[in-house]
Amino acid sequence: MRTFPLPLALTARISPVAVLACAGWALTSGPAAPHTSAGHRTVQTSSAQSSSSSADPSSTAAAAAKAYSTAPSPCTSVPASTVKSLVPGAKTDGKEIPSTDAKLRRTCSWNALQGYSYRWLDVSFEISASEQQATQEYQQRVKEKSGGGDVPGLGNSAYSVVNLTTEDKQQTREGVVVVRVSNALVVVTYNGSDFDTKKAPGTDEINKGAIQAARAAVGALGGGQSQSG
């Protein structure tokens, strides 16, 4: 069997993943504890208790808008059977990309060359400080990858796009699915090439595969949920 070097477009796939894995957010919290006046005994009345027990509206809204505090394990987010189907020949345990803050961002990759057929799958979880921030990030991703369409019934909002690139007469077709679930984003990238025919897999195959992986990853978000629903 002949061996073929990977085209630059596929070799360079590692770089964006590594760059993305280095991104993170810093969450700040910690309201000051209440102080009591020295030398005075404080008696709290029922009305005061009622007032103190009532949460600040802005704090309550922020808490409600933040359902997830940690990113789940990305390499266990997609069932082994799905990995085998989408990336034939790949190790099903995947490879997690190092992150500067694994609590807020985690990415796993699977890739394999079987015969002349090459496939690559990335699954990434990104946890924002609030639902508003996640929504803004989602909208920005959709804007950057125009030409796709909404995916109904997936998360709070989901978007899918497929693009074809050609380098040195070798085609590569890549699908990207971005899903927002409360304050979490799930980003799936799935691509493929055939080094014998120089052709890429069909749009439908790549799009369906990316969406299939995204649905599995959204289901795995339960492991990062900080509030029981």
Domain map of the chain by residue range? 68-224
- Please tell me the predicted confidence (pLDDT) of residue 132: 96
Q: Is the pLDDT of residue 170 over 70?
A: yes
CA pair distance 183, 189, nearest whole angstrom? 20
| Cα 160–chain centre separation | 13
Q: Average model confidence (pLDDT) for the chain?
A: 79
Average the pLDDT over 165-181 and give the result: 97
Average the pLDDT over 199-220 and give the result: 97
Question: How much of the chain, in percent, has pLDDT values that exceed 70?
Answer: 69
Residues 2-47 pLDDT 10s: 444 554 445 445 443 333 333 333 333 333 344 433 333 333 434 4
The owner of tokens 């984003």 is 185
- The full DSSP string for 68-111 is BSSPPPGGGSS-HHHHHHHSTTS-TT-EEEP-S-TTTEEEEEEE
| Cα 105–chain centre separation | 8
* Model-wide pTM > 0.75: no
Residues 42-73 pLDDT 10s: 334 344 344 434 445 444 454 445 789 999 99
Q: Could you tell me the CA-to-CA distances from 128 to 65, 208, 215 in Å, in that order?
A: 10, 27, 20
Residues 209 and 86 sit within 8 Å (Cβ to Cβ) = yes
Average the pLDDT over 209-226 and give the result: 86
Nearest one of 154, 163, 145, 159 to 206, comparing CA atoms: 163
- Please tell me the predicted confidence (pLDDT) of residue 6: 54
User: Domain 68-224, CATH 3.40.1000 — does that match?
Assistant: yes
CB neighbours of residue 86 within 10 Å: 22
Sign of CA dihedral 214, 215, 219, 220: negative
**Residue 30 backbone zone (phi > 0: left; psi -120 to 50: alpha; other: beta):** left
